[in-house]
Structure formats: structure tokens, C-alpha cells
Structure 1
Amino acid sequence: MKKLFVDNGLLLTDMELTFRGEQLILQRVLVDTGSGSTIISTDLAEKIGIIAEENDIIYRISGVGGSEFVFSKTVNSIKIGNMEVQSFTLEVGAMNYDFNLDGIIGLDLLQEIKAIINIDMLTLDINK
């Protein structure tokens, strides 16, 4: 089970990802059932070597907040509390929004971990 917190009306948590042996802890990650995909900040991703490479395709995604260019990268693992997924493909983008976020946990990752979000208790758990 992972504790969630609310800041300025946003449901947030932290998560850890591993890429080619390097670990990155993201402190302010939005839990967003309305986002189809999971995305992390380009600035933070670069710290562990996640960069756009020659064969990566850069494409535009759109949402309620506007649109931006991203690229996809498969990370070795993502951990949220005691929940972990291996070999997960996420998007990397500038994330220039009007609020401070390190990433967004989208529906793709929530489905992969079979997440149960308890708004009353502010927890994220897995369906066992």
C-alpha cells in the first residue's frame, strides 16, 4: 500500500524508476486516471541517462492541459510503494504545466499494477 497526498487539489505520490542500473526517485507524481499514458519530466529523466536517441520517434500528445512533444522509453522497473512493474514503456516530455510535477501516473500504469485507489484513506493499493 502506498500513501497518497493532496496538494492544491492534485492527488500526488512518489515513485522510483530504474533505467540501465540507475535509480531515480520522483517526489511529486500526479495520479491521473484521465491520462492514458504515464509521463516523466525530461529534466529529471536526463539525470539517469534517459534521453532521446537516434531511433526514438518524437511525437505529439494532447490532453486537457494542451499538447506537447514526447518520446517513449522502456525503463527496467517502476516502483510505487510495494508495487513494482518490470520493463514498462513510458513517455518523456518537458511537462511545462502551471504546477510543479515530476511525472504523471496514467491509466496505462494503473491498469498494469491493477491499482485500487482509496480516496477516503488516500491510498494506492493493488488488487490481490
Structure 2
Amino acid sequence: MKLALKDSLLFTAVTVSYQGKSIEVQDILVDTGSATTVLAVDSVAAIGISPLLEDTLYTIRGVGGAEVVFTRQVDYLQVDQQKVENLEIEVGGMDYGFPINGILGLDFLLTARAIINLSQLQISFDA
């Protein structure tokens, strides 16, 4: 699958499924420096992922600053044809000053056995 290079950052699209509903989300940063996958709450609200009163809120920190998130276990997260089922993701505001709907982290990339080819700007998956 082709990756998009925007402002020297790699982006892809993912499909998220939650409680039997799915949605494709564009502008997902591929980030091998992020331990976890984080999605913007606005990008997944249409399939029922939103904060609940009983959610525990967590603060995560990275190069881009701090973010308050809650977690959800999704049915699956998919890039191209590669699915990771029952993945726990973090969901937050994703306000980084540029268009981004999420971060594809090492939790997905390692489990899916991702291969990132920088010379061809492609992501593929080891069988």
C-alpha cells in the first residue's frame, strides 16, 4: 500500500471496526516512535466510539506534547488487507496544529508484521 508523504511525515488510511460498525479514516500518521495507536475522537464518533462517564482518562506524552485519552478495544484495525483484531487503542482530541486523524503506533505495526519501504514509500506486511 502506498504511503503519502506530507511535510516530511508518512501517512496512511485505516479502517476501524467497533461493535460491528466500520469506518475508513484518512490522514493517519505512521509513527514507529509511538508505542500505541491513537485515533481522533471526531474521526471515530460515527461508529460509536466516544467518551463514557465511567472511562478512565490517561495523559500520554510525546514529541508533539501531551494528550488526554481514553481507551477502547476495537473489533479490528486494518491497513490495506492486514487486520489486527481486538486491538486496544487510545482515543483523544489530536490537536497538533496540522491535519491528523490519528497515529498508527508500534502496537499495530509489530503485531501486523509491517514492513515500511522508505525508498518506495510503501507499507506491506509479512505473511
Distance 2:5 2:74 in 1: 27
Aligned to 1:19: 18
CA RMSD of aligned residues (A): 1.0
Q: Which residue of the partner structure matches residue 7 of structure 2?
A: 8
Shift of 1:66: 0.6
- Cα displacement (A) at 1:17: 0.7
Query: What is the identity percentage for the equivalent residue pairs of Structure 1 and Structure 2?
Result: 37
Q: How far off its partner does 1:47 sit?
A: 1.4
Task: Give the TM-score normalised by the residue count of structure 2.
Answer: 0.95
- Superposed counterparts of 1:23-102, under 5 Å: 23-102=22-101
1:87-115: CA deviations, max 9, x gaps?
A: 11000000000110111101111011011
What's the secondary structure of 1:47's corresponding residue?
helix
Deviation of residue 53 (structure 1)?
A: 2.1
* TM-fit CA distance, 1:55: 3.1
Q: Distance in 2 between matches of 1:124 and 1:18?
A: 21
SS of the residue corresponding to residue 100 of structure 2 reads coil
Q: Secondary structure of 1:45's match?
A: helix
Q: 1:54, CA displacement in angstroms?
A: 3.4
TM-score by length of 1: 0.95
